[in-house]
Amino acid sequence: MQNIPTVTLVVALALEDGAGRWLMHRRPDHKHHGGLWEFPGGKVESHETPVNALVREISEELGIIIRPGDLTPAGFAQEDENARERPIVILLYTCTRWEGDPAALEGGAVDWFTPDAIAELAKPPLDVELAAGLMQKKAD
């Protein structure tokens, strides 16, 4: 029987402010991909659905409340299955409604960017792919 790889499932949020800007999180310098900009989010725990994990992660990371019904699937990106023992798969969701003011509670920084500015940001490889797919989808 073929060995089927196990993946690390990650969820990410593309939060839009209604003025065409998207929230990005700058990873703390001491973390993997430190200093790069990403869509906020995190790992899905074994007992969670992706949407519930995203609600939890965004509360912990940004201090805002999002509701599952306000999330819309927007795309995904994945590492090559040979990239590591458990390649990462990121599920991206969009949201335009939330409660609170986003802040970088776990370090780094957060800021709002236009699509053109996001294209110029230094990002981890999977976030490059997610951003390109999201902006293409919005342009269509």
CATH topology of domain 8-139: Nucleoside Triphosphate Pyrophosphohydrolase (3.90.79)
Q: What's the confidence (pLDDT) of residue 4?
A: 63
pLDDT at 2 over 90: no
The pLDDT of residue 113 is 97
User: Tokens in use for 130?
Assistant: 């997610």
pLDDT at 77 over 90: yes
Q: With contact defined as beta carbons under 8 Å apart, do 110 and 24 qualify? A: yes
pLDDT at residue 135 above 60? yes
Amino acid residing at 54:
L
Nearest to 85 by CA among 10, 5, 9, 11: 5
Q: What is the largest CA-CA distance in the chain?
A: 52
Is the model's pLDDT at 72 over the cut of 70?
A: yes
One-letter identity of residue 81: E
46 token code pair: 């074994």
Query: How far apart are alpha carbons 60 and 81 in whole angstroms?
Result: 29
Domain ranges of the chain: 8-139
Is the predicted pLDDT of residue 110 greater than 90, yes or no? yes
Token code pair at residue 101: 């003011």
Q: Tell me: pLDDT of 90 over 70.
A: yes
C-alpha dihedral (6, 15, 105, 130), degrees to nearest 10 = 40
| Residue-wise pLDDT tens digits, 6-46 | 889 999 999 999 999 999 999 988 888 879 999 999 999 99
Q: For residue 37, which of 105, 99, 104 has the smallest C-alpha distance?
A: 104
Q: What is the pLDDT of residue 79?
A: 87
Q: What mean pLDDT is reported for the chain?
A: 92
